């Protein structure tokens, strides 16, 4: 069981950040679904639940999602789902169960950058930025690749585009972690494909500054992307071997792209 010697509920993210900086052993508390698995005593717990980070704001060009928004809240947000091809709901629907998703947070999921994360895999394929007290605003790609220091993640911002997007994963059993996951999103004329649970962190395969895959790709171009995917750095763990992951990835990429292509582009 995780115990805290002292537990505080600051009123602002800046206050939370200052407390975090003052004590190098302090722990930020999101939904606490992951943290609670630890068996240790931490000197200070900094609970973000009073920092006003539990809202999803829609502006003309983006959705600004507070770090304490739960996976369930975002999964059920109709405007967000319609604007992003339902990819987030597809990514999270097999995570444990409804009650769990009503507690685990978007901020805790993104900040911890877990290799198996379906949340990170889906958000990486969209035009996403993260806002932190400390490091400021940055695209999600360098954040996932390099992480941040002892910062407080306050928001995840998903920019609006005419997305077509879908998520595909393989689980050995319902509600288990993904043994492999893929998200594909078409926006600004090209496909953004991410591959996660390798079991390393999700990585962008096409789009952005990576190998381009244009919206109306030829069969040969898709074949080339699938061949390139086989060269990713795969590993083995108790869910799957590297060989299995390498051989299944191309099929999962094709499945995600096919599912996304069959959808109407989001209005934006
Ligand atoms: C049994 C179980 C099964 C799961 N299955 C899946 C799955 O299939 N797919 C999937 O994608 N995920 C899965 N997860 C992960 C889950 O969805 C959440 O990502 C995870 O619980 C972290 O979210 P949280 O809100 O509980 O964070 P917490 O447990 O509160 O925190 C996690 C870490 O992030 C830090 N942190 C939290 N919020 C912030 C913030 N705003 N700023 C800075 N640091 C912060 C904490 O200090 C801690 O280090 C699973 C988790 C569990 C426990």
Torsion angle defined by CA atoms of residues 155, 164, 205 and 194, in that order, rounded to the nearest 10 degrees:
50
Ligand 1 centroid–CA 37 distance in Å is 10
Q: Using 50, 70 and 90 to split pLDDT, how confident is the model at 207? A: confident
- Which fold does the domain 164-261 belong to in CATH? Enolase-like; domain 1 (3.30.390)
Ligand 1 centroid–CA 225 distance in Å is 31
C-beta of 196 in contact with ligand 1 (< 6 A): no
* CATH no. of 56-159: 3.30.465.10
C-beta of 112 in contact with ligand 1 (< 6 A): yes
Residue 268 has pLDDT above 80, yes or no: no
pLDDT of residue 132: 98
Ligand 1 centroid–CA 108 distance in Å is 4
| Placement of tokens 């996660």 in the chain | 196
C-beta of 156 in contact with ligand 1 (< 6 A): no
Other Cβ atoms less than 10 A from the Cβ of 197: the count is 27
Residue 267 has pLDDT above 90, yes or no: no
Q: At what angle do helices 242-261 and 219-229 cross, to 10 degrees?
A: 150
Instruction: Enumerate helices (H) and strands (E) in the chain, giving the number of each.
Output: 10, 12
C-beta of 34 in contact with ligand 1 (< 6 A): yes
Residue 136 has pLDDT above 90, yes or no: yes
pLDDT of residue 79: 98
Residue owning the nearest CA to atom 10 of ligand 1: 117
Residue owning the nearest CA to atom 37 of ligand 1: 108
Q: Which element (helix H / strand E) includes 3? A: strand 2-8
Q: Give tens-digit pLDDT for 15-67.
A: 999 999 999 999 999 999 999 999 999 999 999 999 999 999 999 999 999 99
C-beta of 67 in contact with ligand 1 (< 6 A): yes
C-beta of 110 in contact with ligand 1 (< 6 A): no
pLDDT of residue 1: 87
Among the listed residues 7, 22, 14, 24, the one whose alpha carbon sits nearest the alpha carbon of residue 133: 14
Which range is least confidently modeled, 90-94, 95-99, 145-149, 196-200?
A: 145-149
pLDDT of residue 148: 84
Which range is least confidently modeled, 103-107, 205-209, 250-254?
A: 205-209
pLDDT of residue 210: 77
* Bridge partner residues of 164 (DSSP): 186
* Residue percentage of the chain with pLDDT more than 70: 100
pTM: 0.97
Atom index in ligand 1 nearest the CA of residue 101 equals: 17
C-beta of 169 in contact with ligand 1 (< 6 A): no
pLDDT of residue 40: 94
- Mean pLDDT of the 197-207 span: 94
C-beta of 48 in contact with ligand 1 (< 6 A): yes
Q: Using 50, 70 and 90 to split pLDDT, how confident is the model at 159? A: very high
Hey, where are the domains in the chain?
Answer: 2-47, 56-159, 164-261
């Amino acid at each position: 069981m995780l115990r805290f010697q002292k537990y505080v509920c600051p009123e602002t993210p800046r206050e939370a950040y200052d407390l975090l900086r003052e004590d190098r052993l302090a722990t930020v508390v999101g939904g606490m679904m992951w943290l609670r698995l630890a068996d240790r005593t931490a000197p200070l717990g900094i609970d973000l639940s009073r920092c006003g980070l539990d809202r999803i704001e829609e502006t003309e060009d983006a959705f600004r999602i507070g770090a304490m928004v739960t996976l369930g809240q975002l999964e059920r947000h109709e405007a967000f789902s319609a604007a992003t091809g339902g990819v987030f709901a597809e990514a999270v629907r097999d995570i444990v169960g409804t009650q769990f998703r009503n507690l685990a947070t978007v901020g805790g999921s993104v900040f911890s950058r877990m290799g198996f994360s379906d949340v990170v895999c889906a958000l990486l394929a969209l035009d996403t930025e993260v806002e932190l007290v400390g490091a400021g605003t940055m695209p999600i790609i360098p954040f996932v690749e390099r992480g941040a220091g002892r910062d407080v993640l306050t928001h995840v911002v998903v920019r609006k585009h005419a997305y077509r997007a879908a998520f595909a994963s393989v689980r050995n059993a319902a509600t288990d972690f993904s043994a492999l996951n893929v998200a594909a999103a078409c926006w600004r004329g090209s496909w953004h494909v991410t591959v996660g649970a390798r079991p390393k962190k999700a990585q962008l395969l096409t789009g952005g500054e990576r190998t381009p895959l244009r919206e109306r790709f030829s069969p040969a171009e898709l074949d080339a992307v699938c061949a390139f995917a086989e060269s990713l750095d795969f590993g083995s763990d108790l869910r799957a071997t590297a060989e299995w992951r390498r051989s299944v990835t191309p099929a999962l990429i094709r499945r995600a792209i096919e599912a996304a292509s069959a959808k109407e582009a989001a209005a934006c």
